[in-house]
Structure 1
Amino acid sequence: MRLFSIYPFFMILLSLFLFACDVHEWPDETSEPPKPDHVSVELRLDFTSDRAELPDYKTIVVGATRAADLPSYETRYQVRVFRMGVDSLFETIPCQTLSFSHAEIESLGYRMTLDLPEGDYRFMAWTDFVEPGGKSDLFYDTEDFASIELRGEHAGNNDFRDAFRGVLETGLYTSTDGGRQKLTVSMCRPLAKFRFVTTDVEEFKEYYLRSILQNAIPGKDELKDAIDMTKFRIVFLYDGFMPSTYNMHTDRPVDVRTGVSFPSVLTDIKDGEAIMGFDYVIVGEGDAGVSVTVACHDENGKRLSGIDGIKVPLQRGRLTTVRGNFLTTRSSGNVQIDSSFDGKFDIEIK
C-alpha cells in the first residue's frame, strides 16, 4: 500500500534550522526625529506564526539540508511600502523600498524604523535566501511583487528555496505624544513541500542482483550490502504544469511551466527505506496538487523502475510525504515488477 502523509512543516528541520526569538535590527541610517506630519514607524517582520515544530517522524532528516550548506547562503529581507492614492487604491510603485541580507540564517526576524507621511499604506515583505555578500536574486526573481518568478534551472532537493511573504495594510497618523507607532507583519510561506520515501530498498537489491547482474543468488546479505545505492539516479518530472510565478498582491500563483524535471539520489538509506527527493511548490490558500512521475535509472541512464502520473495533494505550509514501493514498481513499459500496483494511494492528513 502506498501512503500519503501530510504534516505541518512550518520549521523545516527541527534539529538543524531553528527560528530563534532574537530579532535583527535593520541598519539605522539616522536617529533624527520624524518630519512634521510624518509618523515614525517601527516595522517588525514576525515569523512566529509559521514556525511550529514538525511532528516526530522517523524519516524527517533529508539529504540536502540547510545545515550542510550553511556557509553558502544568506537570508535576504525585502520590504516595499505602497501608499494609497486619491482614488482609494494603493499605488503600484512603492514609495519606499528596502533590501538587506544577513549572514545569520539560523534565525528569522527583522525590525526596522521608517519615517512616513500620514496616510494609508500597504507594507509588503519578502524573505528568501541569496548568495553571500549580495542582495541579488537567486532562486526567485523579485523585481515585481506582482510576478515573483522562479529563476534559472529548477532547483529541486534544496531547502534554501524556502521563502516567506507578509502583507499589512494600515493607516498612519501622528499622535499627540509623537511616539513611534509599532507595526508587525506576519510572515508565512506561499509554498507547500512534498517528499518521496521508497520502502522497498531491500527488495530492489534482490531484484538488482537477480535480474540485472544475473550472477548472484538472491538473499545473500553480503552481496546486497555491497551494492552502492547512491549510484542510482532518481528523476522527478512534473506531468503537465508546475506553478512557477507568484503574485503577492493577490496571494496566489499566476503562471506555470511545463516539462519541469530535476535529478536526485537516494539519501537517508536505513531500515529498508530511503528518501528519493523533495521539492517546494508555489500554492495559494486551500487544497492544491501536482502530478509527478518518479523513476529510478542506473548509471547508464536505463530506466529500471518508476511510477507515472502520481497525484500529490498539497496544502500551503504543509509537508506531503509520499510512501510506496517505488524502486520495484513499474506502471509503464513492458516490464511489470509489481503487478499488484493499481495506481491508487491512500491519503492521511494529520
Structure 2
Amino acid sequence: MLRRLRHIVMLLLPLFALASCDKTIHEYPGKYSITLTVRCSVDLTPPEYFTTVECDPETGTSYVVRAQAAEPFGTRFSEPVCLRYVIDLYRVTSSHSVFVERKVLFADVDDPNPQAITTFNVDASKYKVLVWCDYVQDDLRQAWYYNTDDLRKIVYSDEEVIDNNDKDVFTNMLDVDLTDYYYLDGEYELVYDVDLERPKGKFKCISTDVDDYVKNGDDAEDITAVVTYTQYVSAGYNVEEQKPNYFEPTRTFITKAKYDEDGNLVLCYDYVFVNGKQTNVKLNFYFYKGEVAVGNDGVITGDEISHWTGIVVPLKRNRETLIEGRMLTTSFGTGGFGIDPGFEDEIVIPWGD
C-alpha cells in the first residue's frame, strides 16, 4: 500500500510542477500607464490662541489659558509675497527612498484651494510625496528664507529676514502604494489630495505698560527688541519624517516694536518648528531705545530700557502663545547682554510699514 501511494505521489509531482510553472508564466507585468495627480491645499489662517505667559517682576512667570480669545487676524506682510510649492516624488525601496522628480509651483495667497496641482508619470511601485510650501518674494519667485535643495534636510538660508511673518511655512507628506497595478493593463489616472499643515508654533510678546512708558515722551515704536533663544532651538526640518532635524545651541534676532490691529504694542514675535505636538523654548528679551550696535565680537550695546531673561515659553503646532506683562517699566532676571564670539552675524528685522 505504501509503495502504491508513493507511486501515485511521483505521478502527481510533474502535474504540480506544471501548474506552478503555468502560474509563473502568466504573472507577467501588465501593459499599463499610471498618471499620479497631486492636489495641494493650505489654510493660511494665522495660528489660533494657545496659552498666555504672564510675566511678573516679583514672581517671574505663570501660565494661564483664557476662556475666550480673539479671532486671529489675517497676516499682513511688509512686501509683496506669493506661495511657493515644492513637491518631491520619491520611490520607496526595501531599505530607503530614492528621489525621482521635483515640481515647483507658485500661487497667490488668495488663490482658492487646491492651490497647487501637478502630475507625475509613475510605475507600479511604492512612493512618497513630500510637499513644502513657503512664502517667497512675488517679483523673484525663488527660494528665500529656506534652503530646500533636499526636503529631508531643510535649513534656514543666510538671507536677512525682513518680516518674521515671511518665515511661516506649511508641509505634509503622502504615502502612495501602486503595486496592485503591476499586473494590470490599461491607463490609470489617480488623484491624491494633500492638506498642508503648519509645523511651527508662534509666540508674540506684548507690553501692557506702554501708557506708562510713553508718559515721558518716549516713542513706543522706536523700541528695539533683542531676542535670544538660550537653549537648543530647532533650525531645520525633515518633511519625510515631519519633524525638526537640526537644532542650534542659541540664536538671536533683532526687531522693532509695532502696534497690532488691536492697538497692542507687540515688542517681538517669531515662528518656531515644533518637535512633536508641543515643545518649550527658553528666551531672553532685551529692550532698547532706538537702534542698537553690534560689535565685531558679537556684543550688542544700546540704551537699555528693560530686560526679561530665562522666560520659558510653551509652543504648540499651529497655535500662538502670548507673552504679556509690564515689559518696559520693570525687569526680571540678569541684565546685560552679550553673544558668544563665535556668533557671526546679527539678524536685523525691520517690520516695514
TM-score w.r.t. structure 2 length? 0.69
Q: Distance in 2 between matches of 1:299 and 1:231?
A: 5
Deviations 1:112-131 (A, max 9, x none): 22211111111111111123
Q: Kindly provide the amino acid, as one letter, of the partner of residue 121 in structure 1.
A: Y
Name the SS of the counterpart of 1:118 in structure 2. Answer: coil
Distance in 2 (CA, whole Å) between partners of 1:240 and 1:279 is 16
Cα shift at 1:36: 4.3
Q: Structure 1 unaligned runs (5+)?
A: 1-34, 210-223, 336-350
Counterpart-to-counterpart distance in 2, 1:81 and 1:156: 32
Q: CA RMSD in A?
A: 3.0
Q: Which amino acid aligns with 2:41?
A: D
Does residue 98 of the first structure (1) align with residue 89 of the second (2)? no
Q: Which amino acid aligns with 1:98?
A: K
Confirm whether residue 83 of structure 1 aligns to residue 83 of structure 2: no
Q: Distance in 2 between matches of 1:138 and 1:272?
A: 31
Output the CA distance in 2 between the equivalents of 1:77 and 1:270.
29
Identity of aligned residues (%): 22
Which amino acid in structure 1 is aligned with residue 106 of structure 2? Answer: S
Say whether the 8 Å CA contact 2:201–2:319 is kept in structure 1. yes
Partner of 1:126: 132
Corresponding residue for 2:18?
none
Task: Give the match for residue 216 of structure 1.
Answer: none
State the Cα distance separating 1:84 from its structure 2 match: 2.0
Taking a change above 3 Å as real, the CA distance of residues 169 and 60 of structure 1, as seen in their structure-2 partners, is closer
Post-superposition shift, 1:260?
Answer: 1.7
Q: CA deviation at 1:231?
A: 1.7
CA contact (8 A) 1:202 1:272 kept: no
Aligned to 2:9: none
| Worse-superposed segment, 109-118 or 125-134 | 125-134
| Shift in alpha-carbon separation, 1:179–1:45, aligned structure 2, 3 A | same
- Opposite residue 244 of structure 1, the aligned amino acid is A
Post-superposition offset of 1:181:
1.1
Unaligned runs of 5+ in 2: 1-29, 50-67, 292-301, 337-353
In structure 1, what is the equivalent of residue 122 of structure 2? 116
Bigger drift between 146-155 and 184-193 goes to 146-155
Q: TM-score, normalised by structure 1?
A: 0.69
Distance 1:315 1:143 in 2: 27
**Partner of 2:351 in structure 1?**
none
Q: Does the CA contact (< 8 Å) of 2:33 and 2:186 recur in 1?
A: no
Shift of residue 111, structure 1, vs aligned partner:
1.4
Partner amino acid for 2:211? E
Structure holding more strand per residue = 2
Task: Describe the shift of the 1:269–1:163 C-alpha distance in structure 2 as closer, same or farther (beyond 3 A).
Answer: closer
How far is 1:51 from its partner?
5.0
- Partner letter of residue 302 of structure 1? D
**Quick one: structure 1 residues 84 and 61, their matched pair in 2 at CA, closer, same or farther if it must change by over 3 Å?**
closer
Q: Highest CA radius of gyration, 1 or 2?
A: 2
Q: State the match for 1:21 in structure 2.
A: none
Residue 145 of structure 1 is aligned with which of 143, 147, 151?
A: 151
* Matched length: 274
TM-superposition CA deviations, 1:139-175 (whole Å, max 9, x none): 1111112210011156374212111111111212546
Separation in 2 of the partners of 1:333 and 1:98?
50
* SS across alignment from 1:121: strand
Match of 2:32 in 1: 37
The answer to whether structure 1 residue 198 and structure 2 residue 197 are counterparts is no
Q: Take 2:38 and 2:263, find their aligned partners in 1: how far apart are those partners?
A: 49
Q: 1:202 to 1:59 in 2, by over 3 A?
A: farther
